[in-house]
Amino acid sequence: MKKADILVLDFGSQYTQLIARRLREQGVYAEILPFNVSLEEIKQKQPKGLILSGGPASVYANDAYFCDKGVFELNLPILGICYGMQLMAHHFGANVAPAGHKEYGKATIDIQNDSALFKNLPKKQTVWMSHSDRVENLPQGFEAIAISENSPFCVFGDEKRKFYALQFHPEVQHSEFGKNILKNFAKYACNCDSVWNMGSFAKTQAQKIQEEVGKDKVLCAVSGGVDSSVVAALLASAIKDQVVVVFVDNGLLRSGEKEQVEYMFKHTLGINLISIDAKEIFLSRLKGIVDPEQKRKIIGNTFIEIFEEEAKKHQDVKYLAQGTLYTDIIESSVVGASKTIKSHHNVGGLPEKMNLKLIEPLKEIFKDEVRALGIELGLNKDVVYRHPFPGPGLAIRIMGEVNEPSLKLLRKADVILIEELKSSGWYDKTWQAFCVLLNVQSVGVMGDNRTYDNAVCVRVVNASDGMTATFSHLPYELLENISRRIINEVDGINRVVYDISSKPPATIEWE
């Protein structure tokens, strides 16, 4: 089992993944486990410290989440954040109750006593609150470290046992010195060295793959996107001739996608590629399906079915490798107490029983880390920094039933959007850009004639890892060019709208 410097126990906070990210940015390897993980598994990971995340519950409620009480007896430094703070207070006998008023947003804390957490940091700083409960009194053996306007125990700790508790969220960018606080916890409380990087990650994963696979072969599923391309490169570097790389054309690709993928693997990556035409089976199974979750599950099951059939054609193929990221796992609610946002076809969309064993070497990292890994493995920047494209493809960018006429409209609109972004220099300034066919008709006028055609939504966002995103503030002139070209050049579309929602509360994709 892979060791971790710091383990983060997830109690369902929307920010949990950011805790691990901030620590990794400091060169400290952090891993997230469910709040109810066993003590034995924690011990096997041999961590130097634990962090208890925030969460939506209240420690005094019937639906409260509790970790094994033994975590407080492991003789490890522990940092409790928000719900984790209240859990620690509750465990050691303090009272936790509803606050006089909810506290969301920026607050100022004043540091009253010296602590390893705030070493070399200002005594007054801005932090980000997100809670409706508060600790009423200090648990025995702890002392107040910092106060805020609404809490005399905004931060408390026991320096001897290296137990610390924060009411605010240091992991979010709005907490002025939050990453420094987490770094101090790792460095001064847990004695962690800043040695983790993508080079060490690549070596660890390559060794792990070699040990797991042995002399067997791995079927590597690729889509042409950065995630699966990086997995293919990693496998090729680790087990070379034991990899069978397979690309499936599911009929849900963008215009020219199949040709681009085949060229990239053959000429850019130098990897042999098996290409399978499965358009007919995917579209037939999606006929009449309008529910997004059902679409995803059908696509996931069909992919696995095709991969398993292909595996039978090759001797000793016992594994299936795919480019699952940590964001996929979180949104599919596979870890912790988080809620299901959407089932990713390669996680929540998989069938319960599979003949091939899964290998997912990227499942513990995020998109920006995958890109750094791609560069580490020597991939071309054009491959590494290509915009993300979802595994279910255009099926989740068509509202309602997926069919050939809708796919045709969407592909044409999408080509225009990407052309305009690239020619204006905005493609490389954005994280992801695509069109959504709304299947909503509206009245228009072209020349002297009335039209009653489809509306398309343009979605362009900025992000770093896909967990949060803001809409891109494209120039009005560029938006006008995109709209004009789509309406003029794509028969059947007479209206273009621009999506200005952020994630959260929206997701990046519409389905």
Q: Is 226 annotated as a binding residue?
A: yes
Q: CA 9 to CA 18: how far, in whole Å?
A: 13
Asked if 347 and 369 touch (Cβ cutoff 8 Å), the reply is no
Q: Is 132 annotated as a binding residue?
A: no
d(CA 381, CA 374) in angstroms, rounded, equals 8
- Contact between 409 and 435 under an 8 Å Cβ cutoff? The reply is no
Alpha helices in 332-449 (DSSP H): 367-376, 381-384, 404-424
Residues taking part in catalysis: 82, 169, 171
Give the residues across from 132 on adjacent strands: none
Please indicate if the annotation marks 193 as binding a ligand. no
228 is in an annotated binding site: yes
227 among annotated binding-site residues: yes
C-alpha 234/C-alpha 218 separation (Å) is 12
Cα–Cα–Cα angle for 227, 229, 230, nearest 5°? 70
Closest CA to 319 of 352, 347, 351, 355: 355
Amino acid at 284: S
3-state secondary structure string across 248-310:
EECCCCCCCHHHHHHHHHHHHCCCCCEEEECHHHHHHHHCCCCCHHHHHHHHHHHHHHHHHHH
Tell whether 224 is in a known binding site.
yes
Task: Check the annotation: does 49 bind a ligand.
Answer: no
For the chain, report the end-to-end CA distance as a whole number of angstroms. 36
Q: Is 496 helix (H, G, I), strand (E, B) or coil?
A: strand
Q: Where are the alpha helices (DSSP H) in 155-275?
A: 178-184, 198-213, 226-239, 257-263
Binding site, residues? 223-229
Binding site for ATP, residues? 223-229
